[in-house]
Structure formats: structure tokens, C-alpha cells
Amino acid sequence: MIAVLHVKDVHYTYAGFPVLSGVSFSVNKGELCGLFGPNGCGKTTLFKCCLRFLALHKGTVHMDGEDVSRKPVEALAKIVSYVPQEHKPPFPYLVREVVLMGRTPHLGGLFGVKKKDKEIALDALDQLEISSLADRPYNQLSGGQRQMVLIARAIAQDTPIMFLDEPTSTLDFHNQMKIWEIMRKITEEGKTILACSHDPNHVAWFCDRVIVIANAGVVADGHPRDVINEEILDLIYKDTCSVRSNDGVRMVMPRCITEKKERCSPVSAAEQPYDSCKGTNPKT
């Protein structure tokens, strides 16, 4: 296994408050790695440190065997692409133009948008089945549509490593599944993806690897079947989740629902109306 992303002992402090203290992990080539953790645990900060938006206070980040802090911005953009959570530019660039911007690191000389680059941009739109949006102004789309466009832009950038910051957070169920399927396909081509997500089911179902961040450090790192369990979820979400298995597929469910169901289950939970368990506090 070749580690293409290697994060070692990263520290970052914001206004005297340690956001990351001693985060270390590495991701192998071709892995779809989920980054998982509660709000405010430092996932986005970790992304920004890896991508050099923020200067590390301590530690190193290596991508493709090279220290990112020594790489010029132009060279780094050929190694790693980034899908931000949400942003809205002030100018009405067309969707096709926004996706074409993904080709920037590969453009030679001062001008040089080539025919090939435009074709790659259109292919990326095709791959996400959003070619119909090509001529719409990007800043007038809905949040979910914009997210799809940014993913298309990262695909057009064609880098060995991709960082996605909550790529499915504003998408409908159909598009969420589509994006995870596409991410799986991309990793099968030998690319490496690091994606943040807040949905434990998504990371359990689709990722090869999960890194759980909490309290400014890594609390678990491994295959989803070893990581997404009640012990870890209780640790980061304070007793709100239960893990159940349904035909061999692991499901993370809210504890309040499972406990109700289990208490009522002797009478057959499926037919039991939800209301009949109402008012009973599972803790008592």
C-alpha cells in the first residue's frame, strides 16, 4: 500500500483555543476515506491546513511523497483538488465556465484554454448528469446544484487526490447516492478521496476507511465495520445512536427510535403505531 496523503502531528490553534492537537493519519492510494466527527471538531480546519489555506503551527503534511509547505501553489493544484462547502461568487459565470476553471492548473503559458480543456469540462458535467445546467448562471442555482457543479469542477481538475468538504450536505437523496457512487468510481480509477461527512450511514456504507475526529484529535481510524460502532458513536455523539444490522447492512439509528421500537417489539413493532410509545422516557 502506498500512502499518498500523510498527515503527521498537526497542531493548529485558533485564538488561544487548540482546534487540532497532534493529528496524524495517512491515506492509501485508491482509498475513499471518510472524515467523520461532530460539529466544530476541526474537520474543516484540518482540510484547510492540508490545503495550506492555513499555516500549520506544528507538524507536516505530505502529498504524493512531497511536503506541501514546500510546494508552490501552481504545483499543488495539480496534485489535489478541493470541493468547498458553499460559496457564491458575485459574478454570473455560466456553469460551463465554472467547470472550465477546474482546468486552470493544466493550462500552459499565459492564455492557453485549449479545445481539449473545454471537452474535459463538458465531460465532467456529463458524468454528473448535469449537462442541462451548462448555460445557467452559476450564482443563480440552488445550493445543491452549485455543489454538483463544484464537484464537476474538481473532476475536471483531474488530480490524484481530492478533498471534499461535506459533498452531500445540501443534496437530495437521489443526488447523495449519485455522488457517493461517483466517488467510488473515481477511487476505483486509482485516485484518492478524503471526504467529510456528517452521516454515519454514508461513511459506513461507502467508505473504505473512516477517520473519526473529536476533541482536537483522532479517536478512531480504520475500516468502517471496526469504527462505526456504538462505543465510538457514544463517545462523539453522547449516547444518541444505536447500531443495528439489517440483512447484513449496518444501520446507524437514533437511540430514541430503536429503544421505543424494542420496548414495543413483543407486540410486533411494525404494526405498533408510533404514538403508543409516546410519553415514555427511555431513560427511566
Partner 1 sequence: MGYDDVGGFSEYKKILILFFIAVLLFATALAAIVMGKYGFTVMDVYRTVFIHMTFGDISNIEKLNNTIIWDIRAPRILLTIFVGGALAIAGAVFQGVFRNPLVEPYILGVSSGAAFGAALGIVFPAIFFSLQLSAFAFGSIAVAVAYLLARVRGETPVVTLILAGVIVGSIFAALVSLLKYLSTDAALREIVFWMMGGFYYATWNDVRILVPVVTIGFIILWALGWKLNILSMGDDEARTLGVNPEKYKFIVIGIATAITAFAVSLVGIVAWVGLMMPHASRILLGPDNRYVIPASFMMGGIYLMICDTLARTLTNAEIPVGIIASILGAPYLCYLLRNKGRVIFG
Q: Does 6 bind partner 1 (CB under 8 A)?
A: no
Other C-beta atoms lying within 10 Å of the C-beta of residue 114: 13
Question: Least distance to partner 1 from the beta carbon of 36, Å?
Answer: 22
What is the rounded CA–CA span in Å between residue 55 and residue 82?
17
66 lines the binding site for partner 1 (CB under 8 A) = no
Quick check: 142 binds partner 1 (CB under 8 A)? no
Q: How far apart are CA 26 and CA 12, in angstroms?
A: 18
Q: Given the DSSP bridges, would you call strands 3-14 and 17-28 parallel, antiparallel or unpaired?
A: antiparallel
In the block, which residue shows the cell 474543516?
44
Under rule CB under 8 A, residue 93 binds partner 1: yes
Q: Give the containing element (helix H, strand E) for 150.
A: helix 143-157
**Binding flags for partner 1, 170-199, as an x/- string (CB under 8 A):** ------------------------------
Q: Judged by CB under 8 A, which of 18, 59, 84, 217 binds partner 1?
A: 84
Under the binding rule (CB under 8 A), the answer on residue 143 touching partner 1 is no
Q: What is the DSSP string of 29-94?
A: TT-EEEEE--TTSSHHHHHHHHTTSS--SEEEEEETTEEGGGS-HHHHTTTEEEE-S----SS--B
**111 lies in the site for partner 1, by CB under 8 A:** yes
Least separation in angstroms between CB 88 and partner 1: 9
Tell me: does residue 77 bind partner 1 (CB under 8 A). Answer: yes
Taking CB under 8 A as the binding criterion, the range among 28-36, 47-55, 175-183, 258-266 that sits at the site for partner 1 is: 47-55
| Strand order through the sheet with 32-36 | 80-83, 161-164, 192-197, 32-36, 209-214, 217-222
Determine the interface stretch with partner 1 among 57-65, 84-92, 187-195, 241-249 (rule: CB under 8 A).
84-92
Check binding of 72 to partner 1 (CB under 8 A): yes
Nearest to 58 by CA among 20, 25, 26: 20
Q: Classify residue 81 by its DSSP letter.
A: E
- Residue 135 interacts with partner 1 (CB under 8 A)? yes
Residue 17 engages partner 1 in binding (rule: CB under 8 A)? no
Residue count, binding to partner 1 (CB under 8 A):
43
Rounded Cα distance between 59 and 22, Å, is 8
Footprint of partner 1 (CB under 8 A) = 48, 51-53, 72-78, 80-82, 84, 87, 89-94, 96-97, 100-102, 104-105, 107, 110-115, 117-119, 122, 134-135, 157
